[in-house]
């Protein structure tokens, strides 16, 4: 995956690093790897989402380790130079720059806690449909709700999870969230 | 066959066919049904009966007939050459009244090819340490959703919601509910 960093133009890589460090600073809900990947592919660059995800994890790890060890920009540069010697020069430049601008405010303790499988809810998109007819039943006529949940995984990457609900399932779903709200209020 | 006996056997035959076609019991074979219900009938005779009844049940289920449609349909069948007797029509009508909802549900499920929400659990935790120094003891809801396609292994999605996110979710769910109400009022 580190080889693939060579393929990414400097401005895209800078954008990625910006998103990563902003996520570590709790300034954004997550990192849009899918969207970045699509833009890269449109520009003719052959990277897939997996590669980009791996690169994101590596850079994220770099920044959070640097935060934990309280590294200055110089210290980070020399650490990069000695250990990760396959990083292309433009990548090192970007990392240096982003770190010197925003590295100070990266909070460390939070990252440890989120090394679990709990994701963060970011947003929900929905559509309401009525299935009219199918090959097994000409008169289906059942309404359903299709939702897409935007979720940030522990490393900050945003993914979409889609599913459908029938009307009774939706009502139950709604009811559960109302109960949750009630409990959160009283705690 | 005496009418009462024939009625019982026909009812059981319809039940057996529904089990196989709609309730997923693949092991109910033609041989099994014949042996159990019409032991005296010749195989070709039984096959013809089964085919005829099966065809009728399929038409009725596919159109999800209400009582009016059903009566009209069955009456037409009794008047046809090689159709059904009025006793048989009565048995079919009774069977459909009892099984309509369940069979329709089964057909609906068969047409759902996307992920469905199979189950949902949640709890509220008190965060001992928070993202921002000025907030301690913030409650968060942890929601576990079981997602999966029919007949396939589930994926478990575990998400964290703070009070603001639950509010956001509730707002969106209200939007869905409003749309749903508008939809059911116009149909």
Domain housing B171: 115-185
Report the C-alpha dihedral over residues A42, A45, A51, A57, rounded to 10 degrees.
Answer: -80
**What is residue B107's predicted lDDT score, i.e. its pLDDT?**
92
A88 and A24 co-located in one domain: yes
B153 and B171 co-located in one domain: yes
How far is A171 from A144, CA to CA, in rounded Å? 11
How many other C-beta atoms are found inside a 10 Å radius of the C-beta of residue B68? 8
Whole-prediction pTM: 0.67
Query: Is B159 close to A134, i.e. CB distance below 8 A?
Result: no
CA–CA min distance B62, chain A (Å): 4
pLDDT digits 0-9 by tens, A16-75: 999 998 888 878 888 888 889 999 999 888 888 888 888 888 888 888 888 877 888 888
A23 and A91 co-located in one domain: yes
Mean pLDDT across A120-128 = 95
A85 and A157 co-located in one domain: no
The secondary element (H helix, E strand) that includes residue A81 is helix A73-83
B31 and B44 co-located in one domain: yes
B136 and B44 co-located in one domain: no
B100 and B178 co-located in one domain: no
Q: Does this complex have an ipTM over 0.85?
A: no
A78 and A95 co-located in one domain: yes
* Minimal-distance CA residue of chain B relative to A153: B159
B102 and B144 co-located in one domain: no
**Which of A110, A117, A149, A177 is the best substitution to test chain B (most B C-beta atoms within 10 A)?**
A177
Q: Are A173 and A165 in contact (CB under 8 A)?
A: yes
Domain total in chain B = 2
B124 and B149 co-located in one domain: yes
Domain housing A5: 1-114
A31 and A108 co-located in one domain: yes
Q: Per the structure block, which two tokens stand in for A7? A: 């393929």
How far is B153 from B175, CA to CA, in rounded Å? 31
Asked whether the predicted pLDDT for residue A110 surpasses 50, the reply is no
B92 and B156 co-located in one domain: no
Nearest CB partner across the interface for B159, out of A151, A166, A176: A151
B29 and B64 co-located in one domain: yes
pLDDT digits 0-9 by tens, B60-71: 999 999 999 999
How far is B181 from B178, CA to CA, in rounded Å? 5
Domain total in chain A = 2
Query: Is B169 close to A121, i.e. CB distance below 8 A?
Result: yes
How far is A6 from A107, CA to CA, in rounded Å? 29
């Amino acid at each position: 995956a580190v080889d693939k960093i060579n393929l990414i133009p400097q401005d895209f890589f800078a954008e990625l690093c910006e998103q990563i460090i902003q996520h570590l600073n709790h300034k954004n809900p997550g990192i849009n790897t899918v969207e970045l990947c699509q833009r890269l592919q449109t520009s003719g660059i052959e990277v897939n989402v997996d590669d980009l995800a791996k690169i994101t994890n590596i850079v994220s790890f770099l920044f959070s380790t640097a935060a934990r060890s309280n590294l200055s920009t110089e210290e980070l540069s020399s650490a990069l130079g000695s250990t990760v010697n396959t990083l292309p020069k433009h990548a090192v430049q970007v990392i240096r720059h982003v770190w010197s601008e925003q590295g100070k405010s990266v909070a460390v303790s939070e990252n440890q806690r989120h090394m679990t499988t709990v994701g963060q809810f970011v947003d929900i998109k929905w559509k309401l449909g009525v299935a009219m007819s199918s090959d097994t039943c000409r008169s289906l006529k059942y309404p359903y709700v299709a939702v897409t949940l935007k979720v940030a995984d522990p490393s900050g990457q945003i993914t979409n999870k889609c599913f459908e609900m029938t009307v009774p399932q939706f009502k139950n779903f709604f009811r559960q969230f109302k109960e949750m709200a009630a409990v959160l209020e009283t705690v | 066959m005496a009418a009462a006996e024939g009625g019982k056997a026909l009812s059981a035959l319809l039940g057996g066919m529904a089990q196989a076609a709609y309730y997923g019991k693949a092991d109910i074979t033609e041989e099994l049904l014949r042996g159990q219900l019409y032991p005296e009938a010749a195989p070709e005779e039984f096959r013809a009966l089964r085919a005829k009844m099966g065809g009728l049940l399929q038409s009725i289920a596919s159109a999800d007939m209400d009582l009016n449609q059903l009566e009209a349909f069955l009456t037409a069948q009794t008047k046809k050459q090689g159709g059904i007797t009025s006793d048989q029509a009565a048995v079919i009508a009774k069977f459909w009244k009892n099984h309509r909802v369940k069979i329709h549900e089964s057909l609906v499920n068969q047409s759902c090819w996307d992920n469905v929400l199979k189950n949902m659990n949640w709890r509220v935790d008190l965060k001992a340490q928070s993202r921002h120094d000025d907030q301690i003891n913030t409650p968060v809801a942890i929601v576990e959703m079981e997602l999966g396609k029919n007949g396939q292994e589930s994926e478990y999605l575990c998400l964290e919601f703070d009070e603001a996110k639950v509010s956001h979710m509730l707002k969106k769910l209200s939007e869905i509910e409003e749309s749903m109400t508008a939809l059911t009022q116009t149909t």
